[in-house]
Structure 1
Amino acid sequence: MIKDEYNVIGVMSGTSLDGIDLVYAKFCLNETWSFEIVHAETVEYPSNWYEALKELVNTPIEELKAIDTNYTEYIAKVIKNFIIKYQIKNIDAICSHGHTALHQPENKLTFQIGNRPFLAELLKETVVCDFRVQDVELGGQGAPLVPIGDELLFSEFDFCLNLGGFANVSTNFNRNRIAYDICPVNIVLNHYIRKLGLNYDDEGKIASEGMISVKLLNQLNALEFYKETYPKSLGLEWVNNTVFPLIDTFKLEIQDVLKTFVEHIAIQIASEINKKHTGSVLITGGGVYNIYLMDRIEAHSIQKIIVPKNEVVEFKEAVIFGFLGVQKLRNEVNCLSSVTGAIKDHSSGKIFLP
């Protein structure tokens, strides 16, 4: 039934492996869409799942199917615990991204684990999930999917920039929403900081103490991906095959790797957002808490940088995947061809009933 108010749980697991983001959010349509985050939580991955997910791109497809089943059961438990903890009663749907195992749109392939139909049976709730596959089948990148939420929920900003495993941006250009991945962020920074026994570089303090390798910085900035035009997206495979081998040939101290890569991120982001005359940039995602990175972005940018309240910083993507589910329930467009390069706008995702 089409209505103007929906209560949904949005579930997101990103490439930086920070954990599973869950939000219970209310969406209301009154000429324009608005949202309210009622409950939100990030559940960290236990070490066994962290290690398994980190190796997904190197896992044979038959093993992936078994992992997919196990992960679906695991994510069902996480969602069920969230529902119990916050005593959530009114649920129109659970809208889940799953976790990306493979993303090779050029080969018509994208695969997110945790999107199996029995998720709905385990949860005894309507589930909307598997949002990327249809877009790739229609010739699109299958990413990014968040821009429709930027367009309808955060339209007052000139740019919406997310700093997660990768940096991605969305904006309006010639009256069309466009969006694309800019560069890796936490997927690289966290990889190297873990060599020091840490999960992340707190406020970017270790990066700030390093030295920039100008030679490495120049080679990073010269990578072919940065010359491509949108639509374009990045995956862990590209980082494993291109970025890590390049960095590792330099045999730098960790703090020097971090400082150089932060500068690379800031340069790449600024080169994109500075293409417009001054405006406002909403920045969300875990990278916002890297103060040194934010300082370097501001140093290179001509734009007004805006950081929203913490719950939006941390849970914006989970909120928007909840919103994508709402639009799928309404059979409305939730995937824009101007963003992904698909042959048409479409309503993406699968609906599974309990």
Structure 2
Amino acid sequence: MSSSFLRTLGLMSGTSVDGVDVALVETDGERIAAFGPSLTVPYPDHVRRTIRAAFGAELPNAATAVAETAVTDAHVAAVKQWSAQHGIALGSIDVVGFHGQTITHRPEKRFTWQIGDGCALARAVGVRAVCDMRSADVAAGGQGAPLVPVFHAALVRELDRPLAVVNIGGVANVTWIGEDDSLLAFDTGPGNAPIDDWCVRRAGRLFDRDGSLAASGKVDRTRLERWSEHRYFARTPPKSLDRGDFTDAWTDGLSAADGAATLTRATARAIALAARHFPQAPNQWIVTGGGARNPTLLAAIAQETGKPVVLASSLGWDGDALEAQAFAFLAVRSLRGLPFTFPTTTGAPKPLCGGRLHLPS
């Protein structure tokens, strides 16, 4: 292997607040030499509650301090568990890409906040760490999201284009990749977050496993059509969302099953509406993220888009690890000073690099 390739560990905790994803990638920030083992470590319920209590904060307070410590400790524990489980010494890792946990994302205020102490993590695992990968873009007037399109482009080099890669986490985002490798990326709308919140409030469960609750309900078409007129969908990208920009409140009054069905269809509708902004219609939609494990949602996306829906896993991608892999890739780009946000992905004024490097000592 070329000495330009680094063994990089990527860490991701998304807005669904499921847990910490850890993934190994060997990359030079442009090419991917190999993917290594990955691991997902769920957050304990008390950690989820601690993180959620900090959502929306714009200034440090007691809740954000407790949440940051919890997030950092959970990531350190996940890295050490990954190392022990796979028998890979942390001393063999060149760099860690640490996304942190988004608690507030307000690019219109030039503000985004991913909690997690990169310095403490680097010291605890003994490996240099790159963190704070969104702030530079937001400070320059970009949306700060999505960050993974340049990684998606590296993954699809051998596939027929144009195509769209949809990542469905708490918020859903899409990367459109043209035949000439041109990129367009933006948040499509809600992902799993409103469905999860509805399940917590109305069904006494953390999420809709396999989309079973939604499958048992009926979509309220009148509410859905009214919701589809939200001004966000007509806005020209690049554009991005905070987890709380789309809530489950508009389905209040429905049964637990009908609300889940309507919210699930809404996520699919928002993804389909994204296509109005593409330069060309995609040949296929590749779906990854937590939403890829929801067959009811996948069926709704296929119906709403009228195009084939392809699971990332069917292409040999590890859908559960994909975002963690992306942040490993971005960490190396940061070290090399390569851009990972662009005018057509975040609305940045020019291609920008980002991230802050923390040394273990």
TM-score by length of 2: 0.89
The size of the alignment, in residue pairs, is 346
Counterpart-to-counterpart distance in 1, 2:249 and 2:306: 33
| 2:96 matched residue in structure 1 | 94
Counterpart-to-counterpart distance in 2, 1:209 and 1:264: 16
Q: Tell me if the contact between 1:278 and 1:304 (Cα under 8 Å) persists in the aligned partners.
A: no
Q: Tell me if the contact between 2:190 and 2:270 (Cα under 8 Å) persists in the aligned partners.
A: no
Q: 1:345 to 1:331 in 2, by over 3 A?
A: same
| 1:139 matched residue in structure 2 | 141
Counterpart-to-counterpart distance in 2, 1:75 and 1:124: 13
Q: 1:277 to 1:334 in 2, by over 3 A?
A: closer
Q: 1:141 to 1:277 in 2, by over 3 A?
A: closer
Give the SS at the match of 2:27.
strand
Counterpart-to-counterpart distance in 1, 2:120 and 2:76: 9
**Aligned partner (choices 218, 238, 250) of residue 231 of structure 1:** 238
| 1:329 matched residue in structure 2 | 335
Q: 1:104 to 1:91 in 2, by over 3 A?
A: same
Q: Tell me if the contact between 1:96 and 1:115 (Cα under 8 Å) persists in the aligned partners.
A: no
Counterpart-to-counterpart distance in 2, 1:272 and 1:141: 17
Counterpart-to-counterpart distance in 2, 1:218 and 1:296: 15
**Aligned partner (choices 265, 268, 272) of residue 267 of structure 2:** 265
Counterpart-to-counterpart distance in 1, 2:353 and 2:104: 22
Alignment of 1:52-63 (within 5 A): 52-59=50-57, 61-63=60-62
Superposed displacement of residue 28, structure 1:
5.8
Q: 1:210 to 1:67 in 2, by over 3 A?
A: closer
Alignment deviations for residues 108-157 of structure 1 (CA, whole Å, 9 cap, x no partner): 11110114322211221110111001111111111100111012222335
Q: 1:71 to 1:293 in 2, by over 3 A?
A: closer
Counterpart-to-counterpart distance in 2, 1:58 and 1:268: 23
Name the aligned partner's letter for residue 277 of structure 1: A
Name the aligned partner's letter for residue 173 of structure 2: N
Counterpart-to-counterpart distance in 2, 1:3 and 1:65: 40
Q: Structure 2: which 5+ runs fail to align?
A: none
Q: 1:245 to 1:308 in 2, by over 3 A?
A: closer
Q: Structure 1: which 5+ runs fail to align?
A: none
**Aligned partner (choices 256, 273, 279) of residue 258 of structure 2:** 256
Counterpart-to-counterpart distance in 1, 2:243 and 2:209: 23
Name the aligned partner's letter for residue 6 of structure 1: L
TM-score by length of 1: 0.91
Counterpart-to-counterpart distance in 1, 2:21 and 2:227: 31
Counterpart-to-counterpart distance in 2, 1:206 and 1:245: 18
| 2:119 matched residue in structure 1 | 117
Percent sequence identity is 28
**Aligned partner (choices 169, 179, 186) of residue 180 of structure 1:** 186
Q: Tell me if the contact between 2:233 and 2:273 (Cα under 8 Å) persists in the aligned partners.
A: no
Name the aligned partner's letter for residue 166 of structure 1: V
Give the SS at the match of 2:206.
coil
Superposed displacement of residue 40, structure 1:
0.9
Counterpart-to-counterpart distance in 2, 1:74 and 1:262: 30
Counterpart-to-counterpart distance in 1, 2:192 and 2:283: 26
Superposed displacement of residue 58, structure 1:
4.8
Q: 1:297 to 1:26 in 2, by over 3 A?
A: same
**Aligned partner (choices 283, 288, 294) of residue 279 of structure 1:** 283
Superposed displacement of residue 70, structure 1:
4.3
| 1:107 matched residue in structure 2 | 109
Q: 1:334 to 1:306 in 2, by over 3 A?
A: same
Instruction: Name the stretch that deviates more: 301-310 or 217-226.
Output: 301-310
